[in-house]
Chains A and B, each alone.
Chain A
Amino acid sequence: MEAIKQFFSGLSWEQEFVIFTTLKVCIVLFGAVLPIVAYAVLVERKVSAWIQDRVGPNRATPFFVKYLPVVGPILVRLGIFHPLADGLKSFLKEDFTPAHVRKVYFWIAPAIAVVPAMLALAVIPFGSKLGDQKMVIADLNVGILFTFGIISLGVYGLVLAGYASNSKFSFLGGIRSSAQMISYEIAMGMSVIPIFMLVGDLNLSKVIAYQADGAWLVFKQPIAFVIFLVAAFAETNRLPFDLPEAETELVGGYHTEYSSMKFALFFIGEYTAMIAASAMMVVLFFGGWTLPFAGLNESATTFAMGLAHIGIFVSKMLFLMVVFIWVRWMLPRFRYDQLMDLGWRRFVPLALVNIVLTAVVLWALHPK
């Protein structure tokens, strides 16, 4: 223990930054995001099954499970091992590249779909402090701008996939996704402006600090929240806005021609985007890692409290993910014109009004 302490105290500031950032990235990505993605898929399947009076996945059983008393059968029935099987299957399936595709774009499209969603997580403060380390990978003072900038890159993956597949279904999916994501980007971006008007800073940690002092922003800016929520659904291509995939019309949309791990990457991308969107909402509207009681509003002073903050953040985020999943089985898909109508003619004006309103209220409260 002493040796470790000594080792760290001997490091320069840069060395320490590199080591801890790498550590955080690894832990967040492989310890949190990918498992959450895997199990979000399971939750999706299970929730859909239960809502539709079905049993859901309950078959995958590793050999050792039969030695576990009581717990074993329950785990199997919950389908706990299915994500493992799914992952393995994705790797083992034939990676088929159709003859008619544009190979280079076809290969890079899945990567482009995943990377922006993961990058967006970099600025999310997922906890207060653990020891001396801030629980955020990159505490940028332009956090929100970074997020929007990166998130909007995700559309390239989809458009490229649609174009490279050289198939009419993929093509239509790609066109739809570009139109849809660009449209809702605007509403989404404008919906968060009032928040930063209130907070007065673009750093997301500051946003949390602002909410720790007062009420959560969801109560102060309900309209902004509704717009952001709906736009998040559209941005992540989730029902009722899953037009780019639209199984009933477009087979699989932009990923029709993909198989194996390339297909899985699109899946990971979609769920990572969900995680990012949920995390953003938690940060912007639900007070991040704070809870307004038991002294949890304060930045952590002990290791246990730091862990509790991370737990709080993850719980809030998971709750929003369940909302995402639940809505999918609740609402039917929008028609394309309805989607556009909602984005441009309802949310954009509404967001503008909200900005003006907030400005007026701020001016009235704090006249200089």
Chain B
Amino acid sequence: MIVKRANLTLWERLFLPTLLGGLQVTGKHFIRTVFGGKAVTMQYPEQKWVVPEGYRGAPYLVRDQAGDTKCVSCQLCEFVCPPKAIKIIPPGDSSLKADRANAEKTPKEFEINMLRCIFCGFCQEVCPEEAIFLQRDYSLTGETRDEMIYNKEKLLALGGTHAGVQKWKQKLEEAKGQETFPVKD
């Protein structure tokens, strides 16, 4: 697009209207701020921003209503994470136990490097178990880099409980209910 610039008149070229206009605008704001108390600044640590509903802050792990870790260490979040902030150590073949109220698999360790995390929410979106949620914390601080790598314990403590369909428990109950293949205890 070509914007045609109008030729300035002599009066305009003297720069005076611009000066006066600038003075008027700045003066208006000056007076409004100093005498009207209309400053828009938020005094951060004392005044805090009200985080809106649905805000995407730091991702934390959640437990279900029975207090079980929901994460099954499928590592999809690790895969999808754009800044590679998530690191999961799968359990390995620690047990062959299948028939328990929760899934066979649960992470041995789950780390989110909050220095890398960009709060994009892909982990929450990709999670098939509804085990990770972006919550409302946005100002995470620490004195060392290590401190900013949140481990499973910390993430679970911060994440709290998210009630939902307990699909593994439901499966187990279904399996227990059927006549053939009674589930061993």
Contact A54 B39 (CB under 8 A): yes
Judging by beta carbons under 8 Å apart, are B43 and A52 in contact?
no
How many A-B contacts if CB must be within 8 Å? 39
Which of B18, B32, B33, B38: most chain A Cβ within 10 A? B33
Q: How far is the CA of A51 from the CA of B22 in the complex (A)?
A: 11
Residues 50-88 of A, flagged 1 when their CB comes within 8 A of B and 0 if not, give 111111000000000000000000000000000000000
A54 and B23 contacting across the interface, CB-CB below 8 Å: no
In this complex, which of A326, A330, A331 has the most chain B Cβ atoms within 10 angstroms of its Cβ?
A330
Q: Is the CB of B19 within 8 A of A53?
A: no
Of B19, B22, B29, B43, the residue contacting A50 (CB under 8 A) is B29
Asked whether any CB of chain A lies closer than 8 Å to the CB of B34, the reply is yes
Q: Is A329 interfacial (CB-CB < 8 Å)?
A: yes
Tell me the residues in window 124-171 of chain B with beta carbons closer than 8 Å to chain A beta carbons.
none
A318 within 8 A of B: no
B33 — which chain A residues lie within 8 A by C-beta?
A: 49-51, 53-54
Among B23, B25, B39, which residue has the most Cβ atoms of chain A within 10 A?
B39
> CA–CA, A47 to B34, complex, Å?
10
Give the interface SS of chain A, mostly helix, strand, loop or mixed: loop
Given contacts A50-B30, A330-B26, contact A55 B19 (CB under 8 A): no
Within the assembled complex, what's the spacing in Å between the Cα atoms of A55 and B37?
Answer: 9
Interface 0/1 of B1-24, CB less than 8 Å to A: 000000000000000001100110
CB distance from A220 to the nearest CB of B (A): 21
Contacting residues, chain B, for A54 (C-beta < 8 A):
33, 39-41
Residues of A within 8 A of B23 (CB): 326, 330
Query: Does B40 contact A53, Cβ atoms closer than 8 Å?
Result: yes
Distance A329 CA – B22 CA, assembled complex (angstroms) = 9
Separation in Å of the A323 CB from the closest CB of chain B?
A: 10
Give the distance in Å from the alpha carbon of A326 to the alpha carbon of B26 in the complex. 8
A55-B34 contact in complex given A50-B29, A331-B18, C-beta closer than 8 Å: no
- Which of B22, B29, B30, B38 is within 8 Å of A331, CB to CB? B22
Q: How far is the CA of A55 from the CA of B43 in the complex (A)?
A: 9
Contact of A51 among B18, B19, B29, B40 (CB under 8 A): B29
B22 touches A330 (CB 8 A): yes
**Contact check: which of B25, B29, B30, B41 meets A55 at CB < 8 Å?**
B41
Q: Decide if B26 touches A329 in the complex (CB within 8 Å).
A: yes
How far apart are A327's CB and chain B's nearest CB, in angstroms?
8
Provide the residues of chain A in CB contact with B26, threshold 8 Å: 51, 326, 329-330
Instruction: Give A326 to B25 CA distance when docked, in angstroms.
Output: 12
Offer 7 A-B interface pairs, CB within 8 angstroms, sorted by A. A51-B29, A52-B29, A53-B40, A53-B41, A55-B41, A329-B26, A331-B19
15 further interface pairs, Cβ-Cβ under 8 Å (given A52-B29, A53-B38, A331-B19)? A50-B29, A50-B34, A50-B39, A51-B30, A51-B33, A53-B29, A53-B33, A53-B40, A55-B39, A55-B41, A330-B22, A330-B23, A330-B25, A331-B18, A331-B22
